[in-house]
Amino acid sequence: MTENIEPKRSLDFVRGIITEDIESGKWDSRVHTRFPPEPNGYLHIGHAKSINLNFSLAQEFSGKCNLRFDDTNPVKEEDEYVNSIIEDVKWLGWDIDDSIFYASDYFQQMYDYAIELIKAGKAYVCDLGSEETRKYRGSLTAPGQNSPYRNRTVDENLELFEKMKNGEFADGSKTLKAKIDMAHPNINMRDPVMYRILHASHHRSGDKWCIYPMYDWAHGLEDSLEGITHSICTLEFENHRPLYDWFIDQLNIHHPQQIEFARLNMTYTVMSKRKLLKLVQDKLVNGWDDPRMPTISGMRRRGYSSEAILDFCKTIGVAKTESTIDFALLEHCVRNDLNKKANRVMGVIDPLKVVIENYPEDQVDWLDAINNPEDAEAGSRKVPFTRELYIERGDFMEEPPKKFFRLAPGREVRLRYGYFVTCTDVVKNEKGEVIELICSYDPETRGGNAPDGRRVKATMHWVSASESVLAEIRLYNNLFNTENPDKVEEGQDFTANLNSDSLEVRINCFLEPACKEIEPGQTVQFERLGYFCCDKDSTAEELVFNRTATLKDTWAKINKK
């Protein structure tokens, strides 16, 4: 990171454990963490919490953090996912050029460790299929049964395991299991599978292997081989810790300390790569980086900044108890960040034409506009004012209610950076719909102030009709219409809660000419409308902007009460 993160003195429980370990001299007072994603999908905001926790711990305690790919399942893993994960971690601000590792680098060492356990009589080759294995394992209330192959001799197991490695058996026909205790109260300890046969090419090792380690076997070994001191996991791995400990203790190798914390749950969002993959594969969204997705790449495309996500992760903190975070808090962090650094521009996304009848037809008046009132160094720009303009359709009412202060027949308003204008007439089509407003302007009010001191109650944004830039605007809302998308009726899945109004595309929108200089990935504030990010689909002929967030901050409003 470019900015140093100072250690918190009001320590969360993870930092408290690490502080005690340093003070006691455990691990020679060193700290070595890791972030271990499986490259079987794109990372989401929940992973961002884990990334920032592990890398910030290493930074705060002058240690190291590895980015390690748990690539033990060739059927689901792809280089596309590896590349996306590397891009996401770097975008979040972490330097990983010298700290990228892969579980596949340790396949031979894991195999050798398995041989050790077989020779010690603590692992055996089993011929039970997956369904039979489940039946033999028992349940949470009933003990399991020993496999009929559990008492094979060491020599027989060594021979069969080598034949498994050499590709002499079909997929699923045999597994290597640890010999622990089929009556153990922790079901994970009931002779868990260590290796399965998969005749599939691996994205890195190719066809060298046809047996692949199970996650529970590989996880602790990878941490051990890399010298990890503190293995930070989410709570669902707590019941697996005794198995990791057992493997490491039997092999008598370096033993990291596993610490579990509560994963991130958020309203209106699913945090499962399996479910996100379904959305992508079923074309319910437009890819992993769809701005409605909770993926880091989707949020980046939507216009969220890495600083805002880091602030969000620091705000929610680290806890041991599961909870659900309001999605509005994330948007609050995004607004806080963008308010400080996003330049302001004017755009009209639901245009209504205005003709200023007393303004010269061919005249263009270039007005001074402030780029960012929160940043004096951002400077100013020129905005063209012409006879024909566009305003937001919602900023005009022919018969306004009492508290509507914007434009109406006979009413005077201020145009931002421009002049006072008064609506003098309304043009309608054959359906009776308003298609154009006729207005007059006061040339003495240039810059937005009247020499005679008269005041108006509304200031509106606008865009020149002749000098504007054409744009497509994509308005994004929550992907799901309920706070808990997994709460469905019997026979349904989470997709039943998809929000049919999560995307609204507006075409023929108009932006001020300065927007031509905005590059894909850059976020600006459309005055009075919200924050918008220039999308990668933009062309020279038509810009495309994604709405990042509205200006209204519901979370801040509620939490001020």
Catalytic residue list? 38, 263, 273
| E strands, 31-162, in order | 32-35, 64-69, 100-102, 123-126
> Residue 67 gets which letter from DSSP?
E
What DSSP letter does each residue of 90-127 carry, written as one string? HHTT---TT-EEEGGGGHHHHHHHHHHHHHTT-EEEE-
Distance in angstroms (rounded) separating the CA atoms of residues 332 and 225:
41
Map tokens 């060594």 to a residue. 158
Map tokens 């498994």 to a residue. 164
One-letter identity of residue 64:
K
Q: How far is CA 24 from the centre of its chain?
A: 37
Buried b (16+ CB within 10 A) or exposed e, 143-162: ebeebebeebeeeebeebbe
Nearest partner of 91 among 296, 314, 334, judged by Cα? 296
What DSSP letter does each residue of 406-464 carry, written as one string? SB-BT-EEEETTS-EEEEEEEEE-TTS-EEEEEEEEEGGGTTS--TT----S-EE--EE
Report in angstroms the alpha-carbon separations of 103 from 58, 83, 217, 272, 531. 21, 16, 11, 22, 41
Distance in angstroms (rounded) separating the CA atoms of residues 375 and 368:
16
Distance in angstroms (rounded) separating the CA atoms of residues 75 and 244:
24
Distance in angstroms (rounded) separating the CA atoms of residues 337 and 537:
25
User: Are 289 and 300 contacting, i.e. CB atoms less than 8 angstroms apart?
Assistant: yes
User: Are 33 and 54 contacting, i.e. CB atoms less than 8 angstroms apart?
Assistant: yes
Q: What is the dihedral of CA 438, 443, 449, 455, to 10 degrees?
A: -50
- Determine whether 11 is exposed, middle or buried from the number of CB atoms within 10 Å of its CB (0-12, 13-18, 19+): middle
Which DSSP helix (H) or strand (E) runs through 300? helix 296-302
Distance in angstroms (rounded) separating the CA atoms of residues 388 and 445:
18
Map tokens 């509560």 to a residue. 262
User: Are 48 and 313 contacting, i.e. CB atoms less than 8 angstroms apart?
Assistant: yes
